[in-house]
Amino acid sequence: MSQRNVAIFIFDDVEVLDFAGPFEVFNVTGEVINPAPFNTYTVAMSDRPVKARGSLSINPHYTIENCPQPDILLIPGGWGTRALLKEQPVLDWITMQSEKVANLLSVCTGALLLGKAGLLDGLKATTHHDAFDLFRQIAPETTVIEDQRFVDEGKIITSGGISAGIDMSLYVVRRLIGDEKLKLTTDEMEWRWYQGA
């Protein structure tokens, strides 16, 4: 089993649990299983500290220019996504990566960025419940699912708000490396996994 690179994109006003929850899932999986199935890191537009929600300061591991090529790319949400909707370099990078990665994941309003880039056209997807209407405006060709914690469309998987990203990430762990290794992760995290998609 080859190790997969998991890149988590961070930006100013990112929702903390949106990125930290999935980071914990993939990182813990990499710690409790030998050899580690995932190499998890954060990536940002620049190497300056990112100020997350609540003014939490995060130093990204890499920039979009120097990060290892991801196998899995996760786009979290938060109020910062609204500003990024107008940042064409961000949308272009996500689009470029969508052609290279095995899986593209979003948490919460991270789906707005995927929708704006046209990556969810013709697909089902979800986001934070407060953003359903905005999501429909941004991605009118996407079927918005309101009653699922996460939505699996094969290569692209989207999740609802904040803590839903943890359940989605655990789902990805199970899909990629199986139930036995998933249990090692949930036991270590002391997390009661919500399995329903």
Residues 95-128: tens digit of each pLDDT: 999 999 999 999 999 999 999 999 999 999 999 9
Asked whether residue 122 is domain-assigned, the answer is yes
E strands present in 20-83 = 38-44, 50-51, 57-58, 62-63, 72-75
88 class by beta-carbon count within 10 Å (0-12 exposed, 13-18 middle, 19+ buried): exposed
> Tens of pLDDT along 140-170?
999 999 999 999 999 999 999 999 999 999 9
DSSP 152: E
Instruction: Count up the domains in the chain and report the number.
Output: 1
Asked whether residue 160 is domain-assigned, the answer is yes
- Give me the CATH number covering residue 42: 3.40.50.880
Domain containing residue 25 = 4-189
pTM, full prediction: 0.96
Asked whether residue 196 is domain-assigned, the answer is no
> Tens of pLDDT along 5-42?
999 999 999 999 999 999 999 999 999 999 999 999 99
Helix (H) or strand (E) holding 115: helix 110-116
Q: Taking Cα atoms as reference points, which of 107, 115, 114 lies closest to residue 162?
A: 107
Asked whether residue 194 is domain-assigned, the answer is no
Cis peptide before 35 (omega within 30 of 0): yes
